Structure 1
């Protein structure tokens, strides 16, 4: 059940949030908001795959 919730969140993230890897964002120059979005997407993806 928990894994399914993370998979749904991952699909929502993909549809709504920007992809910084496709934009080739330099993480050393990213704003705090960009880093928070990146961290959130990483957390959701990691839990959806486990």
Structure 2
């Protein structure tokens, strides 16, 4: 159940949130870093 929830959350994130691919993490704003961290957290939980 938990894995299914996070897999669907990752799919929703891919559609709604901006892609930060090929951007330097050191040059991101605080809000963009928060989005990147949230997407990483959801992805790692979906893979467990």
Distance in 2 between residues matched to 1:7 and 1:26, nearest whole Å: 26
Gaps of 5+ in 2: none
Q: Which runs of 5+ in 1 are unaligned?
A: none
TM-score by structure 1 length?
0.90
TM-score where L is the length of structure 2: 0.93
Q: CA RMSD in A?
A: 0.6
The aligned residue for residue 7 of structure 2 is 7
